[in-house]
Amino acid sequence: MNNHLLSLENRVAVITGGAAGIGLSTAKLLAEMGATIALLDVNESRGQEAIEEIGKSGGKAKFYQCDVTNDTECRNTVDAIIRDFKRIDILFNNAGVIVRKNTLDLREEEWDLVVNVNLKAIFLLSRYVIPIMITQGNGGSIVNTGSGWGLKGGVNAVAYCAAKGGVVNMTRAMAIDHGKHNIRVNCICPGDTDTDLLRGEAVQLNQDMKEFMKEAADRPLKRIGLPLDIAHTVLYLVSDLSSWVTGTTIVVDGGGLA
C-alpha cells in the first residue's frame, strides 16, 4: 500500500467538539498525518490546552471558540478559518451531548439541547463549509458522528436516539446531494468509548462508575472503546484510502451491535 494514501499534507481539517475525547484524539491523529487542524469547541481553556498538546507533537492547529448550535457563530467561525488557512478539505462534525432520560422525564429544553448539538450543528457547519469545498473544485470529506443508538434504541436516551438516528439518515441525504461535487459524506457510529461524555452518563443515572464501565465493556471484544479507536476510522474516511466510499455508516463498537 502506498503511504501517500493516508497522507493529509496540505489539507485543512475542521473538527467540532475537538477539545476532548474523540475530537481531541482525532485532531492529534490527523495532525500527525499532516493536516492543519481548525479545532472548534465551546470550552476555551480546554481548547487552548488541546492546541498546545498538538503543537508539542509538531502539529499545526488553531482553536476557535464556537457554539455550533448558533448559526451566526458557525458562519463567522468558518469565515475566520478561511481567512487563516484559505481552504477547508475535511469537516468532522463530532460535537455531542447526551441526556439520559425517557420521554416522560425529559424537559423541552433538554430535548432542544440534545437535538441541537448532535443534529442541528451538523446542518449549520455543513451549510457554510460545503460551498467552500465546491468552490475549491477538488471535493472534500465530511464525517458525522452518529452512535450505535442511531441504529437501534436505547434505554432512557430518547432525545439522543432521535438525534443520532437523524445523523445517520442525514448523512445519506448529504452524500446523495453532494456526490456530484466530489464531496464524500460518511457517518461513524461509535459504541461506548472512554470519554467524559460516557462517564457523565453514569453520574446522570446515579450508577456506580466502576460497574457502569464494566457493563459498557460487555461486548464481543471484551473492552470499552478508546478515542483512538474512533480516530483511526475517521482517518480512513477522510483519507484517499476511502476515495470511493460515501453515504455509508461504519459501526465502531467492539461488536456491541452484533
Domains of the chain: 9-192+228-252 (3.40.50.720)
pLDDT digits (tens, 9 = 90+) for 176-190: 999 999 999 999 999
Decide if 160 is catalytic. yes
Instruction: Please check the confidence at residue 1 and state whether its pLDDT lies above 70.
Output: no
Mean pLDDT, rounded, of the chain? 97
The Cα–Cα gap between 234 and 190 comes to 11
Q: Which triple of cell numbers denotes residue 14?
A: 475542521
As a whole number, mean pLDDT of residues 201-206 equals 96
Grade residue 2 by pLDDT with cuts at 50, 70 and 90.
low
Instruction: Please check the confidence at residue 43 and state whether its pLDDT lies above 80.
Output: yes
pLDDT digits (tens, 9 = 90+) for 12-25: 999 999 999 999 99
Sheet architecture: strand order including 60-65: 60-65, 36-41, 12-16, 90-93, 140-145, 183-190, 249-252
Percent over 90 (pLDDT), the chain:
98
Q: Is residue 113 helix, strand or coil?
A: helix
The Cα–Cα gap between 153 and 139 comes to 34
Instruction: Please check the confidence at residue 34 and state whether its pLDDT lies above 60.
Output: yes
The Cα–Cα gap between 255 and 184 comes to 26
Instruction: Please check the confidence at residue 26 and state whether its pLDDT lies above 70.
Output: yes
Grade residue 229 by pLDDT with cuts at 50, 70 and 90.
very high
As a whole number, mean pLDDT of residues 31-50 equals 98
**pLDDT the model gives residue 4:** 84
The model carries a pTM of 0.97
Q: Which candidate in 64, 128, 160, 236 is catalytic?
A: 160
